[in-house]
Structure 1
Amino acid sequence: MDELWVAQLGLIDYRTALARQEQLRDARRAGAIPDTMLVLEHPPVITRGRRSSADELPLGEAFFHARGIDVVDVNRGGRLTYHGPGQLVGYPIVAVDDVVGHVRRLERALVRALAETGITARARPEDGPDFTGVWVGEAKIASIGVHVAGRVTTHGFALNVANDMTPWTWFTPCGLATVAMTSVAEQLGEDAGCGEPLLRCLRQRIAHAVAETLGLRQRQVTPERLDRALKSSPGIGAEATGATVPTR
């Protein structure tokens, strides 16, 4: 069975993580690494996907900058979303031949991991692209947005676990004016525990669920192992080498 390398990076700046994803994408296209997933948290940041519009940020960027929240335009699909400490973010850098199928697989993996945590969740593909992600009742608990270049994905999912939910009220999340956002901690209430133990549990469950849903065997690797793989193929991508990327 093919492997999914999983690297736990802890708290890492969004722009730094984006640069790392792009390096890993090129390495994956060159065949220097197998399918890989970064699991991490971000300092407070709002990201605007390709389908975002100006009216989704009615308070303006200066409002968020004054509160220590960065605002970054990105090339992933989807609209506005928020990341902050206590939210679990996963970036699968994997070869695909069906982008929509990849998104559906990520949704299924998150639904499965949440079920193991005691939360009944669902995807809503029948409601259209604005409802991509994972929902508990009518509240959204996880956002998904991906980008594909050379048949390899970047970006991924963000699951609200034990993060501060207040920033979600300052803008229009996911382009849905009436959406309610929720978290694992809110759904579990007194049974949730708090902070790092809850995050640690979800890190393990989600990594396992994503690997199995992708049909891969999970292998935990260190950030140093990724660095060594990148150094073995600096600046190499599929276009430069003529390599082909096997897909599932």
Structure 2
Amino acid sequence: MRQFTDKRDAGSTDQLWILEHFPVYTLGQASKPEHILRPGDIPIVQSDRGGQVTYHGPGQLVIYLLLDLRRLNLHVRQLVTAIENSLIATLADLDINAHARSDAPGVYVSSRKIASLGLRIRRGCSYHGLALNYDMNLEPFNRINPCGHVGMVMTDVRRELNYDAPLLFVTCQQTLLQHLQQHLCYT
């Protein structure tokens, strides 16, 4: 991701990398040691993204956005808003009422956080991205202060729908990609 960003030029195409991580805590540039409460056997990795500590693991859709912001004529705040709006629209398509908060980046259902974002901008290009909890074991979030917020409650799509939806990963992925294309003006 970093190598791609460092080597890209004006002709390099933008890319979205879609994946799920093995269990890992990642520390953003603003992380503080006191926000890691009881990591147990989950590895802790320092990251050069913005933000604080978060958990990544199975049941979480991660999309890294490798974008040339100059070519898209986007500033960082506009990119963050486009990502949050894409997540909100995706969740609305699944009949989940979600919103962004001005005091804490990400997307929330009531006061519960369902999606996180952490970006790095280098040479006018973004990398890192978003994480949408769709069907995961949320217990590892209890071992940290997610994004530096004491007592933040996390949720996922399956819990908010209150049923096990088949192909939830594929549904979330396809819907979110459509909304990202729309909000980033690729359609």
TM-score normalised per structure 1: 0.71
Cross-structure match for 1:178? 151
Residue 109 (structure 1) shift: 0.4
How many residue pairs align between the two structures? 183
Counterpart residue identity of residue 214, structure 1: L
Cross-structure match for 2:185? 215
Q: Which has the higher helix share?
A: 1
Q: 1: CA distance between counterparts of 2:127 and 2:33?
A: 24
Cross-structure match for 1:243? none
Query: What does the per-residue CA deviation read over 1:98-136, in whole Å, with 9 as the maximum and x for residues that have no partner?
Result: 1111111100000001111111100112xx2xx100000
Cross-structure match for 1:85? 58
Cross-structure match for 1:41? 20
Cross-structure match for 1:136? 109
- Gap regions ≥5 residues in structure 1: 1-20, 218-248
Q: 2: CA distance between counterparts of 1:95 and 1:138?
A: 33
> Which residue, 119, 127, 134 being the options, matches 1:161?
134
Q: 1: CA distance between counterparts of 2:18 and 2:97?
A: 23
SS of the equivalent of 2:100 reads coil
> Which residue, 158, 165, 172 being the options, matches 1:193?
165
- Gap regions ≥5 residues in structure 2: none
Cross-structure match for 1:229? none
Residue 178 (structure 1) shift: 2.1
Q: 2: CA distance between counterparts of 1:87 and 1:51?
A: 22
Q: 2: CA distance between counterparts of 1:205 and 1:36?
A: 17
SS of the equivalent of 1:132 reads strand
**Which of structures 1 and 2 has the bigger CA Rg?**
1
SS of the equivalent of 1:181 reads coil
Moved over 2 A (4+): none
Q: 1: CA distance between counterparts of 2:53 and 2:120?
A: 15
Cross-structure match for 1:145? 118
Q: Counterparts in 2 of 1:90-109, with a 5 A limit?
A: 90-96=63-69, 97-109=74-86
Query: What does the per-residue CA deviation read over 1:130-173, in whole Å, with 9 as the maximum and x for residues that have no partner?
Result: x1000000100000110000000011100100111110111111
TM-score normalised per structure 2: 0.93
SS of the equivalent of 1:123 reads strand
Query: What does the per-residue CA deviation read over 1:15-43, in whole Å, with 9 as the maximum and x for residues that have no partner?
Result: xxxxxx1232234x313532211111000
Q: 1: CA distance between counterparts of 2:125 and 2:48?
A: 14
Q: 1: CA distance between counterparts of 2:151 and 2:140?
A: 15
